[in-house]
Chain A
């Protein structure tokens, strides 16, 4: 019966952010199906949708916070945490698996967990259409083939 407090908002979700999110939502409120455009614009602006944005968006769009939360959780590409500084996405599909993608993936995860790569998120993808040159992956968006643990260490050296 109270307004949802949910998870504590991240520090950067201050009053300025809330005003901005409100403005974004208001900008789209009169169009048909405004929620997705609003989420996309918030993502474009901040890189993720914060828990504290949800009730603000809900309020402007005459939705419940739960409904907005449901939509946010439905789409994988709607982040709910601040984006990492770096993203390493490794292919785990058939062709790459056959040439050692699994051990590469494990190595990358280990390195990330050790903190050696700073604020990096290791993601999995399934086929980048680069099968002939597997194991494939992207590092901060750059498509690379023939990856191995050593190459990865090299590429990410100095990331903090």
Chain B
């Protein structure tokens, strides 16, 4: 545990907002040196006088400027005098020219500022004290410029009668305090890219409105950028209104998605009494640069939800009641139980599952416990069920199991090919970056069965939407590559210099069966449309591929990943900024949990368990002999459990009973085990089958690191001590110790030191270095001491890029007369994965239940209308949920999310999986949909009662 009562690193104690330099940085080769109030400062040419002044340590008063937004020049607070220039220009909109001499505090500008401020104050609630939220820049500015009284009649605000809007669950809008600086309007457009706010009316009557309605029913996605940008308390977090100003700041990392945004946890109190006042995205955060989404900024309430478990519990059988026990007793029961199983059923009869939501350090000790204390390799991670094909595919082709770029790279992309991903919902902060790039003129091709928001929306119009039929991705990507090669658009020089298997691949892909015309029927994409998209991609100066679970969760997920890698290689779109092949990872630490050796066949750093020299590193350090053979994967564990050979499981922070496919099979497997140990925040679905429950910690209590989809290692720092009294890595170490294998660490930093000492790609990583650098992207080595934003520059990690012949083999999951529709699954913005966290926050407001989207034609023939309760059935099971008739889906395809256990969407998904990695095929299930009332189900209660009834196999 680090010392909590000391200020967090980088904070000299007490609360201060992040510095605001007024206008955004300017990238420029040339420099300009200017003199401001007698101080010389050198900045990139084109930098505003305001920013240059701030850099020189001089704060020019401002209201309409903030450094996340383009200068606007409307408030006239920032006036300065420039030698030799007439008048008093606004410093936010005046660029620095070399040799300029600026005065920011002449009497004239001070008087002007005071006048302006008094004008503002005359139309602003007089009662600063009564408002007193403490975060008002306006109040501070008034004091600075010495305008304490309004000479123009005091503080009767003409907007006072306008309605106070408290509709959003996380922030309020009080028009009376608004000064119409339009920072919020610009933040919503420029930063978030939603454009939900506007100035209504004109002149003195103008006011800010979310489109003439209230926030909740508007287009607002509740990202909070406007609240962050607001200089007054007009837009204010409800939590701050309730709790008052924070007193200290802890720099940490969001625990929701693979974007991995950096946050300042702004808190009050110390130790156990710490309260989070608000989460403020950090401008210094490499992944997010000061932006966030509704989940990261607002949805942290689950961390002290009443459902949170704070005590270890045990029971003898899953039909018994839980019994609260001491940590010692719970740990002993787990350890003794595991040892007993091994005695009776062999060393291989137990295993562990690590979580992509836990820190690298917590994951590392799980695999260490399994390999060293359990003495087998039966360790797997929930990443199995989402991105394992990414690891396999990119490793085969490029030599690393990770994406090639940082997020910032998209700012250099000219064409983006987005496949099987829905970033505006699943990776919102990346989506905001992408949308900004699109507004600058880049083009996007969306290959996804659903008409997602990036196909068409405010200031977004895709060059093409290719609704590739579920299951036909490989045929699609091959047709793209076929077009490129047969039309001579490939980069011959790149291929010859950087790749291998070139001739055989070119011959393969040129075969007629891979042509757009030949694949048209399976992909559902007209050949001409596909050819146009391929040309666009191939001819762009920089073309980048981004993809999500719509690629990986297929029986050919690994093949598809290799197919995309091929496409990037043949067009030379790899090894520089603006290009690459980039997975959008689901959970926050999917990348990290894979890096940490969570797969049964790999030690940390993706080194195969069969390599004696790698095993030797760990054997020497740990003093145990490691099993050289791969262990069981999650699906194999379940199969073996049903066969009686696998009887004990340790599950860290994962709800496998809800998130894994074919729920019935998983539940039967769990039920058949002698000992299931669950470590989680909540009594989740899996805990229904557990014998030992070990309460976990939320990210606000963790000390460690997360690695995001850019390979960026970010620090997670505790804002408060573990609420249940123990760090999660410590729990794991205690079990290992009780089984006779002590794993002593003085703190999480020592675990990272061990990772760095044993894993070449992490060689230069330590908490101290991370604290100094902010974050680093692995590999961090002697050759790249600050990390590696772009990979495969000049040479692939494996040497030559490997072109793999990606033959299209259709899935065995087929539609038929009984199940004529294809079900595909996804997620939505306000909810996260199985929803254990988000369901326990006000994010429920937006997505209280899972919805089945169905095309109007399919709905019509079945007599379904929006709002109907429908039964969704596949050959393995059925569930009931509400339908929404939607043109977003192509005919023949239905769509749902899987955030709510009551729906159990995975009750109907099958156990089909990726051929190479066993990643389940969530994205293709043959189903039928019918109005549920027909079977006498009339309301949601009935649905909840019946939801798990399995249908007989056919």
Question: Hey, which bits of chain A sit against chain B, CB under 8 A?
Answer: 1-7, 51, 54, 58-59, 62-67, 69-70, 73-74
Contact = CB atoms under 8 A, between A and B. Distances in A.
Contacts of A69: 198, 200, 209, 211-212
Nearest to A63: B458
Contact of B220 (A1, A51, A59, A63): A1
Nearest to A62: B461
B199 interface: yes
Given A62-B457, A63-B195, A64-B194, A7 B212 contact: yes
B213 interface: yes
The 9 closest A-B pairs by CB, nearest first: A70-B198, A66-B211, A64-B195, A64-B458, A66-B198, A73-B200, A6-B213, A69-B211, A69-B212
B842 to A, nearest CB: 13
Interface in B164-213: 194-202, 209-213
Contacts of B195: 63-64, 66-67
A69 B220 CA distance: 14
B218 interface: yes
A6 B213 CA distance: 5
Main DSSP-derived SS at the B contact region: loop
Given A5-B213, A69-B211, A62 B219 contact: no
B196 A63 contact: no
Contact of B200 (A5, A58, A70): A70
B523 interface: no
Contacts of B221: 1
Contacts of B213: 4-7
A66 B196 contact: yes
A69 B195 CA distance: 11
Contacts of A54: 211-212
27 contacts: A1-B221, A1-B830, A1-B846, A3-B219, A4-B218, A6-B213, A7-B212, A7-B213, A51-B212, A59-B456, A62-B456, A62-B457, A62-B459, A62-B461, A64-B195, A64-B196, A65-B219, A66-B218, A69-B209, A69-B211, A69-B212, A70-B200, A73-B198, A73-B201, A73-B212, A74-B199, A74-B200
A8 B302 CA distance: 36
Interface string B694-711: 000000000000000000
Nearest to A60: B456
A80 to B, nearest CB: 9
A139 B197 CA distance: 38
A22 to B, nearest CB: 14
A66 B210 contact: yes
Given A1-B846, A2-B217, A3-B219, A66 B209 contact: yes
Nearest to B222: A1
Contact of B212 (A3, A6, A59): A6
Specify which of A3, A54, A66 lies most central, judged by the most chain B CB atoms within 10 Å of its CB. A66
A6 B217 contact: yes
Contacts of A5: 213, 217
Contacts of A7: 212-213
A59 B458 CA distance: 7
A5 B457 CA distance: 17
Contact of A74 (B202, B220, B457, B461): B202
B297 to A, nearest CB: 15
Specify which of B195, B210, B211 lies most central, judged by the most chain A CB atoms within 10 Å of its CB. B211
Contacts of B459: 62-63
A51 to B, nearest CB: 7
B50 interface: no
B770 interface: no
Contacts of B830: 1
Specify which of A4, A62, A70 lies most central, judged by the most chain B CB atoms within 10 Å of its CB. A70
Nearest to B218: A4
Interface string B209-232: 111110001111110000000000
B460 interface: yes
Given A4-B217, A5-B213, A66-B209, 10 more contacts: A1-B220, A4-B218, A6-B213, A54-B212, A65-B211, A66-B212, A66-B219, A69-B200, A69-B212, A74-B200
Contact of B458 (A1, A4, A67, A73): A67
Nearest to B461: A62
Contacts of B197: 66
Contact of A4 (B194, B211, B457): B211
B162 to A, nearest CB: 13
B692 interface: no
Nearest to A75: B202
A74 B212 CA distance: 12
A41 B457 CA distance: 23
Contacts of A59: 456
B829 interface: yes
Contacts of B461: 62
Contacts of B219: 1, 3-4, 64-66
A45 to B, nearest CB: 21
Specify which of B199, B212, B456, B830 lies most central, judged by the most chain A CB atoms within 10 Å of its CB. B212
A59 B199 CA distance: 19
Nearest to B220: A1
Contacts of B210: 66
Contacts of B222: 1
B747 to A, nearest CB: 41
B456 A1 contact: no
Contacts of A4: 211-213, 217-219
Interface in B137-174: none
B828 to A, nearest CB: 9
Interface string B458-489: 11110000000000000000000000000000
A13 to B, nearest CB: 15
Nearest to B203: A74
Nearest to A70: B198
Nearest to B425: A1
A10 to B, nearest CB: 15
A139 B457 CA distance: 44
B884 to A, nearest CB: 11
Given A4-B218, A6-B211, A6-B217, A70 B457 contact: no
A2 B460 CA distance: 18
Contacts of A73: 198, 200-202, 212
A96 B212 CA distance: 37
B254 to A, nearest CB: 19
Contacts of B220: 1
A3 B888 CA distance: 14
Contact of A62 (B198, B458, B829, B846): B458
A3 B886 CA distance: 13
Nearest to A51: B212
A70 B217 contact: no
B426 to A, nearest CB: 14
A51 B195 CA distance: 18
A58 B458 contact: yes
A65 B456 CA distance: 14
A73 B212 CA distance: 9
Interface in B553-583: none
A66 B220 CA distance: 10
A69 B196 CA distance: 10
Interface in B822-848: 829-830, 846
Contacts of B457: 62
Contacts of B194: 64
Specify which of A3, A67, A74 lies most central, judged by the most chain B CB atoms within 10 Å of its CB. A67
A64 B196 CA distance: 6
A59 B459 CA distance: 10
A58 B456 CA distance: 11
A89 B201 CA distance: 22
Contacts of B456: 59, 62
Contacts of B846: 1
A107 to B, nearest CB: 27
A116 B456 CA distance: 50
A2 B202 CA distance: 27
B198 A67 contact: yes
